[in-house]
């Protein structure tokens, strides 16, 4: 200080020091941005066998979120070995194989191997593919963008191990993937950045001890993770460096989303029942003669579920005050909810295909013969025919370049769910506002409940803009390039992130509907204590009142969140099936794909 004035240089110095310290602290705190989210391995003592053909959504959930172990079926490993041997035999016979003896992308016509695959020169070339950097797929990522949800990582690796049995992957790659999964070692890599041809997951790098990995929730060099887990690095070979170009993360996360969406839809059916019970609805739109005259299978399925839930309830009593027709939206709900169930079924079936087939390029098919399809014997296709020899145990077959990496069958069915959901949401928001109107409720809640219990109205309209932004499909991206075949994108992980976010908002929306429906059930019960609501709705109502009491006792601790947040968390962690199990049969059960080198499997005739 001089003459009572502050020293500007000293102040500037302190500001600079403060900024430097702040940046230093931020740098040290950076890893917290990717806080690992572990699972509770309640099923760690169980083992799921992967054979590449019948991995179910339920089994994947057990592996991903329950910590179940996996093993490869002997016949699936034999199939992978045959594909690997066919690839080596292709080099022996001079048959071009994308990314094995030809380059990738713009280098697809460049011959990278000459002569038999086991010459010292070729073995050295192949070995160099796995040297330096992070190995196949990198294994880098960053603390800001890593995939850190253990359930997602486990779903990815289980799907990859299952899919790899259809590909020309080495035995070390498949066994290494299984060993990592069972030991809880996961590659560190970014969630964002892929265009959609692949997720570019660096499992191969982690198998070799390259790059970074997560173990016991900690990010560390992959070599340290292997050592701490008691695993040895494995040497990869053949075309393993191309195994990162699959979409196993997309497939695995989609399968988990299918599971979560089904649980949401079961709660949505329950919320509809609570709303009808609160409104004293006329249920004639759901009865058998009505549904039978418009036999949309998934609408009929939803109606059957709802009728089971309300069976034994007062909605079947003769109530003179019950109006002949509910609001149009409430009456239209079964048709729209049935459409969501159908969209869910389409996504489920496509997820099962994606999990139990190969999206790898190229396709290796040992045992396929020129006579198996007319086109296979044409001169163009015979360029890719391998006759068979010492590397393939005499078995011939084909290896084709392909576009199996395009995930659009999965992507389109994923976005169809959002379109179906938003048309139900408009009904939910509108129906909630109807409880403000005695024209539909006949009575006013405050007249029945007395002062201090609210009016029973409400709306979730504030969620509508976010729902609209998340439910609409993304425009298909195109990527123009010069001297490179890559020119399309699908960004499936971005679409999946939006779908997951939408489902979270859907639960908030549904929570508001559930709270209102439960309140009006209290109104109807006080109006007539003899009224019943059916076993399922009654049990659900009781559970809701444990979380959100109709009136909190004096002196009770404050709630940990808003009522809507509490119920949203409840329906996220508690399945509706705990309160009601339907006997309604789905019109189309899950159909497992069975990839096989036959015309029938491809929908073809000779």
- What are 149's strand-pairing partners? 37
Which residue, 204, 195, 287, 237, is CA-closest to 494? 195
| C-beta of residue 191 within 8 angstroms of C-beta of residue 152 | no
Joined tokens for residue 522: 């209290």
555-565: pLDDT as tens digits:
888 888 899 99
| C-beta of residue 214 within 8 angstroms of C-beta of residue 250 | no
225-251: pLDDT as tens digits:
999 999 999 999 999 988 988 899 999
Which residue, 554, 546, 331, 288, is CA-closest to 427? 331
Residue 365 DSSP label: E
Instruction: Say whether pLDDT at 260 is over 60.
Output: yes
Beta-strand pair 47-50/69-72: parallel
pLDDT of 480 reads 62
- Show the 3-state SS of 313-327: CHHHCCCCCCCCCCC
Instruction: Say whether pLDDT at 552 is over 90.
Output: no
Confidence category of residue 455, pLDDT binned at 50, 70, 90: low
- What are 551's strand-pairing partners? none
Residue 280 φ then ψ, to 5°: 60, 55
Q: How far apart are CA 210 and CA 213, in angstroms?
A: 9
574-588: pLDDT as tens digits:
999 999 999 999 998
pLDDT of 146 reads 85
450 or 192, which is more confident? 450
Domain chopping of the chain, boundaries: 47-246, 253-356+407-553+564-578
* CA 344 from centroid of its chain's CA atoms: 12
Q: How far apart are CA 220 and CA 501, in angstroms?
A: 29
Q: Residues 6 or more apart from 361 whose CB is under 8 A from it?
A: 98, 99, 242, 245, 401, 402, 403, 404, 405
Q: Helix, strand, or coil here: 267? A: helix
pLDDT of 28 reads 38
Q: How far apart are CA 169 and CA 87, in angstroms?
A: 10
Which residue, 264, 33, 41, is CA-closest to 151? 41
pLDDT of 2 reads 37
pLDDT of 376 reads 97
Instruction: Say whether pLDDT at 19 is over 50.
Output: no
Which residue, 160, 275, 212, 195, is CA-closest to 36? 212
143-176 core/surface letters (b: 16 or more CB in 10 A; e: else): eeebbbbbbbbbbbbbbbbbbbbbbbbbebbbbb
Q: Which of 160-169, 184-193, 456-465 has the highest mean pLDDT?
A: 160-169
Confidence category of residue 457, pLDDT binned at 50, 70, 90: low
- Show the 3-state SS of 23-75: HHHHHHHHHHHHCCECCCCCCCCCEEEECCCCCCHHHHHHHHHHCCEEEECHH
| C-beta of residue 506 within 8 angstroms of C-beta of residue 496 | no
Return the number of other C-beta atoms located less than 10 Å from residue 38's C-beta: 14
Instruction: Say whether pLDDT at 515 is over 60.
Output: yes
Cα-Cα-Cα-Cα torsion 281, 285, 286, 288, nearest 10 degrees, comes to 140
Q: How far apart are CA 162 and CA 358, in angstroms?
A: 9
pLDDT of 566 reads 94
Return the number of other C-beta atoms located less than 10 Å from residue 125's C-beta: 15
Q: How far apart are CA 161 and CA 147, in angstroms?
A: 18
Confidence category of residue 589, pLDDT binned at 50, 70, 90: confident
For tokens 């009006």, the residue is 520
Q: How far apart are CA 79 and CA 85, in angstroms?
A: 10
The fold of the 47-246 domain, in CATH, is Fumarase C; Chain B, domain 1 (1.10.275)
pLDDT of 216 reads 96
Confidence category of residue 144, pLDDT binned at 50, 70, 90: low
30-47: pLDDT as tens digits:
344 468 999 999 999 999
Q: How far apart are CA 195 and CA 481, in angstroms?
A: 13
Q: Helix, strand, or coil here: 213? A: strand
Confidence category of residue 454, pLDDT binned at 50, 70, 90: low
Angle at 481 between CA 479 and CA 484, to 5 degrees: 120
Question: Average pLDDT of 258-273?
Answer: 98
Give 3-state DSSP helix, strand, coil % of the chain, rounded to 5: 55, 5, 40
Q: How far apart are CA 125 and CA 113, in angstroms?
A: 8
284-297 core/surface letters (b: 16 or more CB in 10 A; e: else): ebbeeeebeeeebe
Confidence category of residue 599, pLDDT binned at 50, 70, 90: very low
pLDDT of 452 reads 72
Q: Is 250 exposed, middle or buried, given 0-12, 13-18 or 19+ CB atoms closer than 10 A?
A: buried
299-318: pLDDT as tens digits:
999 999 999 999 999 999 99
pLDDT of 131 reads 83
pLDDT of 189 reads 87
Mean pLDDT across the chain, nearest whole number?
88
pLDDT of 490 reads 79
pLDDT of 436 reads 87
pLDDT of 196 reads 54
pLDDT of 135 reads 46
Q: Residues 6 or more apart from 54 whose CB is under 8 A from it?
A: 356, 592
User: pTM of the predicted model, to two decimals?
Assistant: 0.90
Joined tokens for residue 164: 């790899």
Q: Residues 6 or more apart from 572 whose CB is under 8 A from it?
A: 507
Domain 253-356+407-553+564-578: state its class. Answer: mainly alpha
Instruction: Say whether pLDDT at 130 is over 50.
Output: yes
Return the number of other C-beta atoms located less than 10 Å from residue 279's C-beta: 25
Instruction: Say whether pLDDT at 259 is over 70.
Output: yes
Where do runs of H (alpha helix) occur along 404-491? 408-434, 438-441, 445-449, 464-471
For tokens 């994947």, the residue is 60
Instruction: Say whether pLDDT at 540 is over 80.
Output: yes
Give the CA radius of gyration of the chain: 29
Q: Is the dihedral of CA 253, 254, 258, 260 positive or negative?
A: positive
Least confident of 81-95, 430-444, 453-467, 488-502: 453-467
pLDDT of 244 reads 85
45-61: pLDDT as tens digits:
999 999 999 999 999 99
Angle at 340 between CA 339 and CA 344, to 5 degrees: 120
String of DSSP letters for 73-86: -HHHHHHHHHHHHH
190-223: pLDDT as tens digits:
776 555 567 888 999 999 999 999 999 999 999 9
Beta-strand pair 363-366/385-386: unpaired
Confidence category of residue 76, pLDDT binned at 50, 70, 90: very high
């Amino acid at each position: 200080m001089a003459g009572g004035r502050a020293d500007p240089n000293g102040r500037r110095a302190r500001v600079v020091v403060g900024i430097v310290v702040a940046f230093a602290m931020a740098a040290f705190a950076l890893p917290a941005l990717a806080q690992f989210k572990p699972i509770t391995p309640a099923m760690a003592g169980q083992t799921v066998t992967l054979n590449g053909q019948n991995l179910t959504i339920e089994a994947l959930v057990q592996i991903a979120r329950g910590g179940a172990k996996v093993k490869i079926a002997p016949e699936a490993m034999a199939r992978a070995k045959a594909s690997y041997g066919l690839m080596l035999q292709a080099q022996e016979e001079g048959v071009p194989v994308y990314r094995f003896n030809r380059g990738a992308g713009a280098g697809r016509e460049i011959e990278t191997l000459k002569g038999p695959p086991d010459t010292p020169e070729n073995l050295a070339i192949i070995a160099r593919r796995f040297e330096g950097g992070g190995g196949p797929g990198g294994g880098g990522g960053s603390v800001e963008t890593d995939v850190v949800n253990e359930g997602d990582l486990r779903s990815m690796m289980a799907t990859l191990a299952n899919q790899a049995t259809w590909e020309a992957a080495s035995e070390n790659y498949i066994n290494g993937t299984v060993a990592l999964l069972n030991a809880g070692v996961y590659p560190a890599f970014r969630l964002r950045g892929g265009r959609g041809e692949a997720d570019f997951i660096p499992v191969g790098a982690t198998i070799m001890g390259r790059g970074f990995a997560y173990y016991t929730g900690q990010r560390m060099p992959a070599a340290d993770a292997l050592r701490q887990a008691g695993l040895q690095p494995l040497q990869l070979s053949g075309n393993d460096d191309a195994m990162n170009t699959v979409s196993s993360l997309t497939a695995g996360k989609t399968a988990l989303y299918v599971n979560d969406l089904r649980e949401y839809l079961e709660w949505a059916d329950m919320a509809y029942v609570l709303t009808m019970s609160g409104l004293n609805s006329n249920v004639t739109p759901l009865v058998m003669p009505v549904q039978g005259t418009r036999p949309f299978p998934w609408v009929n399925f939803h109606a059957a579920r709802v009728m089971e839930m309300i069976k034994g309830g007062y909605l079947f009593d003769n109530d003179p005050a019950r109006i002949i027709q509910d609001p149009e939206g409430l009456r239209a709900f079964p048709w729209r909810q049935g459409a969501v169930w159908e969209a869910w079924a389409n996504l489920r079936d496509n997820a099962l295909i994606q999990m139990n087939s190969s999206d790898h390029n190229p396709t290796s098919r040992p045992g396929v013969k020129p006579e198996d399809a007319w086109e296979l014997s044409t001169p163009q296709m015979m360029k890719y025919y391998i006759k068979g020899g010492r590397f393939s145990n005499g078995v011939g077959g084909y290896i084709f370049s392909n576009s199996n990496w395009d995930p659009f069958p999965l992507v389109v069915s994923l976005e169809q769910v959002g379109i179906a959901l938003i048309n139900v949401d408009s009904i939910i928001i509108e129906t909630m506002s109807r409880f403000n109107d005695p024209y539909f409720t006949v009575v006013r809640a405050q007249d029945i409940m007395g002062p201090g219990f609210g009016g029973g109205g409400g709306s979730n309209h504030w969620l509508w803009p976010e729902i609209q932004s998340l439910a609409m499909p993304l425009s298909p991206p195109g990527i123009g390039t010069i001297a490179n075949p890559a020119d399309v994108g699908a960004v499936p992980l971005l679409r999946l992130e939006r779908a997951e976010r939408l489902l979270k908002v859907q639960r908030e929306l549904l929570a508001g509907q559930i709270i209102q429906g439960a309140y009006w059930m209290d109104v109807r019960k006080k109006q007539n204590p003899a009224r019943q609501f059916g076993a399922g709705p009654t049990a659900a109502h009781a559970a809701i009142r444990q979380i959100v009491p109709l009136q909190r006792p004096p002196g009770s601790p404050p709630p940990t969140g808003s009522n809507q947040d509490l119920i949203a968390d409840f329906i996220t962690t508690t399945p509706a099936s705990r309160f009601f199990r339907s006997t309604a049969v789905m019109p189309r059960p899950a159909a497992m794909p069975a990839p096989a080198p036959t015309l029938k499997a491809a929908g073809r005739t000779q």
